[in-house]
Amino acid sequence: MKLLELLGYYNYWVFAIALVIGLYAVISKTNLIKKLIGLSIFQSAVFLMYITMDKVEGGTAPIIKAGVEDQIYSNPLPQVLILTAIVVGVSTLALGLAIVVRVNERYGTIEESEILESD
Amino acid sequence: MDLISHLPALQVIVPMLSAPIIVLLHPRGLAWAGATLAALVSFAISIALAVAVLGGETQTYAMGGWPAPFGIALSVGGLSALVLLVVTGAAAIALLAARPSIDQQIELERQPMFYSAWLLGLAGLAGIVVSADAFNIFVFMEISSLASYVLIAGGPDRRALLAVFKYLIMGTIGATFYLIGVGLIYMMTGTLNLADMESRIGDVAQTRPVLVAAGFITIGLALKAAVFPLHVWLPNAYTQAPHMITVFLAACATKVSIYVLIRFDYMVFQPTMAEHDNQFALFLMPLALLGILVASAVAMFEGNIKRLLGTSSVAQIGYIMLGASFISLAGVEASVMHIFNHALAKGGLFLAVACIAYRFRDLRIQELGGVAKTMPFTCAALVLCGLSLIGIPGTAGFISKWLLITASLESGPFGWIFVAVILVSSLMAVVYIWRIVESLYFGGSANRDTVIAEAPLQLLVVTWIAALANLYFGFFPEVPLALADNAAGVLMGYGK
Amino acid sequence: MIDLAVDALSWVLLALGGICVLIGGVGALRFPTFYTRTHAASLTDTMATLLVFSGLMLQAGFTLATLKLLAIMLFLLLTGPTATYALANAALESGLKPEAPTIPGRTRKKADS
Amino acid sequence: MIFVFSLFLLSLLIIIAIAIVQAKNLFVSVMLLSIFSLLMATNFFILDAADVALTEAAVGAGITTVIFLSALALTAQRERKVVGGRTIALIAVGVLASLIIYATFEKPRLGDPNAPVHQHVAPWYLEKTPEYIDIPNIVTAVLSSYRGYDTLGEVFVVFTACIGVLFILGAKPASLRGERNVERAGLRHHLIPQVVGRLLVPFIVLFGLYVQFHGEYGPGGGFQAGAIIATGVILYALLEGEAAALRAIPRSVLLGLVVGGALLFGGVGVVCMFMGGAFLDYSVLQSDPVWGQQLGIVIIEAGVGMAVCGALLSIFHAFAAREIAQ
C-alpha cells in the first residue's frame, strides 16, 4: 500500500524529469532548432502536470451519459486549460521556427556559436 | 447593462477585434489610420475607467455572465487603471507618431500585418491588466508576447532576428514557469480566480507546493519583467526593434509583468505566507539594488544610444522593485508612481531617438556629433525627457524619486543605504544622459553629404507632447498620485 | 454457450495478434538489413491489426463501437502498408540496394538466382 | 492493470525525451518528438482526458511535426558538436528537478477524490451544466461558455502566430514560382501513396467535420477539427504538390478563414453585448437561455475551427513557399 501511494506521485516525477530534460536542451544546446525541440518537451511536461490533476479514482471522461446516475467524472477544468495551452505551444513554436528560417537565410547557419562569431 | 459597466471588457476587445480587420486594410496608410483609431479609442476607454475608479471603488465584470470563481472575472482598480493608462497611452502616442518611421523601416505590403500585431500586443497587455483570473493572465501574456516577437522581428538589421529568438526562448520559459506556478496553486486551492485564490490559500499557505509555486511565479514573471539578473534579453531586443516599437515596448511591456508580480505577491501570497517579508527582503531587494547599480554603471559605457537607454530601463525596473520590496504604503506608492513616470520619461526619450534615427541611420553616440544644430527641437525634447529620467525637480521623474527616497528613510535604520544607492545611480544617470547631450550639442559634426533637416512634423509634435507631459505631471501629479495612493491602499490593505 | 464461444474466439484472436506484434518487434530488432527489418515490422501493420481488431470487435458485439473499430481497422490497413511501401521506396531511391547479406558461418546456395 | 500500463508509458516518455536531446540528427529528433507527443496523448487518454488526448495527437504529433519538418527542409539537418557549458546547465536543471520533486510529497496523490481540485469549482461545472447549457460534454461547455473568454484569447494567439509567420516569412509568394520542375511537385511519381492518399483525404476532412459538429456530445470541438482538416489539406499538398493545394484553397481564402473565424467568435460576443448581456453571454441570443447557450457554442466552435484550420494552413504554406523559392 505504501508503495502504491508512492507510485501515485510517479506522474509528478515524470513531469519534473521531462521538464528539466527539455530545459537542459534549451540551455545547453547551441543549435536553434534543437533549442525549440527542447522548448517543446518543456511545455509538454507542464501539460502532463495539469492533466494528472484531473484524474479521479473510478472516474471517466467528463462527458455526461444520459440515464447513468452516480457516475464519477474527472475534472474538466484542467483539460480546458491544457487545450488552450497546447494551441499556445504550437503557435509559439511556429513563430520560433519562422524566425530560425530567417536566421538561416541571413546568417547561413543555425548554430548560435557561429552566428555570434559572424557578427 | 450600460456602456460604463462594459468598459473593462471593451478595453480589451476594441483593440483585439480591430486587429483582424486591420490585416485586410491594404491601401496605403489605411492600416495605420485604423490601428491609430483603435488605439485612441482604447486610450479614451482607459481614461474613462480611470475617472470611474478615481474615488477608490473597483469595477468588476463577469465575462459571459458567469459568477466569479466559475467564469472569468475582470476587475479594474486604482492600480490597474494607472497601468492601463500607461499601456494604452504608450500605444496611442507611439502609433500617432509611427507612420513616417515605420514607412521607412517596414515594406508597404507587410505593414497591415505589422499594425495588426501591434494592436494585438496592445490587446494582450490590456487583457493582462484587467484580468482577475490567473490562467486568463497567461493566455493574454502569450498574445502580447507573440505580438511583441513579431514586432521586434520587424527590425531591419539581421541581429534583430537573433535578439528576438533569444527573447522568444526567455519569454516562453518565463510564461511556462508562471503556468507551472498557477498549476501548483490550483492544485492546492482548486480555483483560478485571484480573489478566490487569496481567500482559500490561507489553509494551505505553508505547504510545499504553494511555496514552490511562489518561487516559480516570481521567477517566471521576473524573467518577463527583465528584473536583474534575468534581463539579458532586454537591451538587445530594444536595440534591434523598429524605433517606434521600442517606444511602445519600453514604455509598457515590462511594467505589465511587474504589475502581475506585484499583484500576486501582494494579493495572493501576502496575507497568508509568514515568509513573505523574507522573500522580499532576502531575494528581491538585493536584486533590485544590484540591478540599479550594475545596470546604471553598464549604461554609462554603452556606445549605442538605444542600447544605453534599454540598459537604463533595467535600472529603472530595479527602482520599481525596490519600492515594492519595502512592503510599506509609501514604498508601494512610490513603486506604482515610478511605473507611470518612467513610462513618460523613457517613452519620450525613445520618441526623440526615433526622430534622430529618421535622419541618421548610425545610432552610435560618437557618430551623432552636432545633431542639435540641425535638429534643435528634437534634441531639446530629448534633454527634457532626460532630465525627467534623472529626476530633476519640476519633472515627473522627480516625483517618484522623491517618494522613493521618503519611503527608504521610513523603511528602518538601514534606510540611508537605499537613499545612497538611489543618489549614486541618479548621478550615474546624469553621466549617461550627459554623454548623449554632450555629443548632440558639442560633438564635432562629421562630414555629412545628405540633406539633414528636422524630423517630420508628425513625429516631432508627438515627441513634444510626450516631453511636455513630463513637465505637466511634474507640476500637477495629482491624478496619478491619487490612483497610486488608492492602489497602494488596496494592496497593503490586504496584508494588514 | 454462444457467448462463451465468441469470448474464447476473441481472446484467441487477441492473443494471436499480440504474438504477431511481438514477432514483428523482434524481427525489427534482430534482422540484419533495412529491408528485412521493414519486412518484419510490416507484420504489425497488417496481420496484427487484423487480428487484434477482429478480437476487439467480437468483444464489443453489435454496437456503435464495432463500427468505429471497423473504420479504424480499415484506416490502419490502408495507411500502414502504404507507409511501409513509401519507406522502402524512399530507401531504394536514395540508393540503398536490397541485397541479401552474407551471414557468417553459412553458405548461400543459390546466390545468383 | 491500466496502472502498470501507465507506469510503462510514463517511463517510455522519459527515455524518449532523453533520446530526443541526445540525437545529433535533427530529423531523428523531430520524429522522436512526434512519438513523444503520441505517447503523451496516450497518457492523457489514460488519465481520462479524451479531448486533450485528441488535441495533442492532432496538434502535437501531427501539425507540430509538419512545421518542424518544413523548417528543417529550409535549414540544416545535423547539429554540430557542443563544447562546454554543460555542467552549469546540468546543475541548474538538477536543482530545479529536486525542487519540484521536493514539492510533490505534499501534493494530493494521483486520483485522490478529496483533492482540492475536485472539491471546489469543478463539481459546480459537473452539477450545473445540464441545467444551464445542457450538453453532454462538460469540457466543451467549460471551454466555450464558462471560460469562453480564454478560448477567444486562444484563437487570437493562433491568429497572432499566423500573421506573425506571414509577416516574418513574407506574405508574397516567392518570385520563382511557376517555373519549378514537375519532379518536385508532390509525390506525383509515387503511385501507391498517391492513390491511397487521394482515397483518404476526403475521409480525413469528413472526420474533421464530424469532430467539429459532434464536439458537444463527444470528445472534439473546433481546435481538434481545425487541426484535423488542416492535416487533410496538408496531405493533399504533399501528394499533389503545394501549388495544387493552393489552387484548391488559395491564400486569400485561408486568410479569410482566419480573419473570419476570429471575427465570428468576437462578433458573437459583441452581439451578446448589444442584446443586453455581458460579453460572450450567449443566454441572451434566444428567448430560452439554454437554447441561446447551445446556439452560441455551435457558432463560436465554428469560428474556432475556421480560424485554427486557416491559420495552420497559412503557416504551412508560408514555410512551403520558402522551400520552393530557395
**Lowest pLDDT segment from B153-157, D170-174, D260-264, D294-298:** D170-174
* Res. D186 pLDDT band, cuts 50 70 90: low
Flag if A42 and B176 touch (Cβ within 8 Å).
Answer: yes
Residue to mutate among C82, C92, C93, C94, with most D CBs inside 10 A, is: C82
The pLDDT of B403-421, averaged and rounded, is: 86
pLDDT tens figures, A5-50: 677 788 888 999 999 999 999 988 888 999 999 999 999 999 999 9
DSSP state of C44: I
* Res. B36 pLDDT band, cuts 50 70 90: very high
CA distance D313 to D308: 8
- For the four alpha carbons of C37, C41, C46 and C47, in that order, the dihedral sign comes to positive
Residue to mutate among D191, D196, D204, with most C CBs inside 10 A, is: D196
Contacts 24+ apart (CB under 8 A), B449-453: B452/B359, B452/B360, B452/B374, B452/B375, B453/B359, B453/B374, B453/B375
What per-residue confidence (pLDDT) applies to B348?
Answer: 92
- Residue C79 contacts D, CB cutoff 8 Å: yes
CA distance B284 to B361: 39
Gap from A68 CA to chain D (nearest CA, Å): 12
Cα B86 to Cα B124, B257, B290, B333, B343: the distances in Å are: 14, 13, 26, 16, 7
Residue to mutate among B169, B182, B304, with most A CBs inside 10 A, is: B169
Nearest CA in chain B to A110: B162
Radius of gyration of chain C (CA): 18
Comparing C-alpha atoms, which of B372, B487, B405 is closest to residue B77? B487
The pLDDT of D305-323, averaged and rounded, is: 89
What per-residue confidence (pLDDT) applies to B350?
Answer: 93
Flag if B169 and A39 touch (Cβ within 8 Å).
Answer: yes
Inter-residue contact C18 to C52 (CB < 8 Å): yes
Residue to mutate among D118, D154, D160, D223, with most B CBs inside 10 A, is: D160
Flag if D192 and C86 touch (Cβ within 8 Å).
Answer: yes
pLDDT tens figures, B416-466: 888 999 999 999 999 999 998 888 888 776 555 555 777 788 888 999 999
Length of chain C: 113
**Lowest pLDDT segment from B147-156, B199-208, B481-490, C60-69:** B199-208
pLDDT tens figures, B106-122: 888 888 999 999 999 99
| Beta partners for residue A60, in sequence order | A73
- Residue A91 contacts B, CB cutoff 8 Å: yes
Burial classification of residue D166, based on how many CB atoms lie within 10 Å of its CB (0-12 exposed, 13-18 middle, 19 or more buried)? buried
DSSP state of B444: P
* Res. A89 pLDDT band, cuts 50 70 90: very high
- Residue D268 contacts B, CB cutoff 8 Å: no
What per-residue confidence (pLDDT) applies to B167?
Answer: 93
CA distance B244 to B354: 7
CA distance B381 to B351: 9
Q: What residues of chain B, 169 to 228, have a C-beta less than 8 Å from chain D?
A: 184, 186-192, 200, 204, 207-209, 211-212, 215
CA distance B169 to B172: 5
CA distance D229 to B285: 52
pLDDT tens figures, D21-44: 988 899 999 999 999 999 999 999
Q: Assess: ipTM above 0.90.
A: yes
Burial classification of residue D130, based on how many CB atoms lie within 10 Å of its CB (0-12 exposed, 13-18 middle, 19 or more buried)? middle
CA distance B84 to B129: 7
What per-residue confidence (pLDDT) applies to B105?
Answer: 85
Chains that touch B (3 or more CB pairs under 8 A): A, D
Nearest CA in chain C to D197: C79
DSSP string for B317-369? HHHHHHHHHT-SHHHHHHHHHHHHHHHHHHHHHHHHHHHHHHH-S--BGGGGT
Q: Is the pLDDT of residue B277 over 70?
A: no
What per-residue confidence (pLDDT) applies to D171?
Answer: 47
DSSP string for B64-93? GG--TTTS-EEEE-HHHHHHHHHHHHHHHH
Cβ–Cβ pairs < 8 A, chains A and B: 65
- Residue A85 contacts B, CB cutoff 8 Å: yes
Gap from D289 CA to chain B (nearest CA, Å): 12
Maximum distance among all Cα pairs of chain A, rounded to whole angstroms:
69
Radius of gyration of chain B (CA): 21
Under DSSP, is residue B231 helix (H, G, I), strand (E, B) or coil? coil
| Beta partners for residue D111, in sequence order | A56
* Res. D225 pLDDT band, cuts 50 70 90: very high
What per-residue confidence (pLDDT) applies to C22?
Answer: 92
Q: Is the pLDDT of residue B213 over 70?
A: yes
- Residues of B within 8 A of D148 (CB-CB) are 63-64
Gap from A116 CA to chain D (nearest CA, Å): 14
Flag if B143 and D157 touch (Cβ within 8 Å).
Answer: yes
Nearest CA in chain C to D194: C82
**Lookup: cell for D59:** 496538434
The pLDDT of D130-157, averaged and rounded, is: 90
SS3 letters across chain A: CHHHHHHCCHHHHHHHHHHHHHHHHHHHCCEHHHHHHHHHHHHHHHHHHHHHHHCECCCECCECCCCCCCCCECCHHHHHHHHHHHHHHHHHHHHHHHHHHHHHHHHCCCEHHHHHHHC
Identity of the residue numbered A114 = E
The structure's pTM equals: 0.93
Inter-residue contact D294 to D140 (CB < 8 Å): no
Nearest CA in chain C to D192: C82
- Residues of C within 8 A of D190 (CB-CB) are 86, 89
- Residue D193 contacts C, CB cutoff 8 Å: yes
Q: What residues of chain D, 104 to 133, have a C-beta less than 8 Å from chain B?
A: 104-108, 115-122, 124-125
Nearest CA in chain C to D189: C89
pLDDT tens figures, B1-26: 678 888 999 999 999 999 999 988 87
CA distance C5 to B496: 74
Q: Is the pLDDT of residue B269 over 50?
A: yes
CA distance D301 to D213: 8
Flag if D120 and B17 touch (Cβ within 8 Å).
Answer: no
- A43, A84, A103 ranked by CB distance to B176: nearest: A43
* Res. D180 pLDDT band, cuts 50 70 90: very low
pLDDT more than 90, % of chain B: 42
Query: Higher model confidence: residue B327 or residue A2?
Result: B327
CA distance D88 to D260: 48
pLDDT more than 70, % of chain D: 91
**Lowest pLDDT segment from B127-136, B281-290, C13-22:** B281-290
CA distance A74 to A62: 6
Flag if D121 and B192 touch (Cβ within 8 Å).
Answer: yes
Flag if B212 and D103 touch (Cβ within 8 Å).
Answer: yes
Average pLDDT, chain B: 87
Chains that touch D (3 or more CB pairs under 8 A): A, B, C
pLDDT tens figures, D88-125: 888 888 888 888 888 877 777 777 778 888 888 888 88
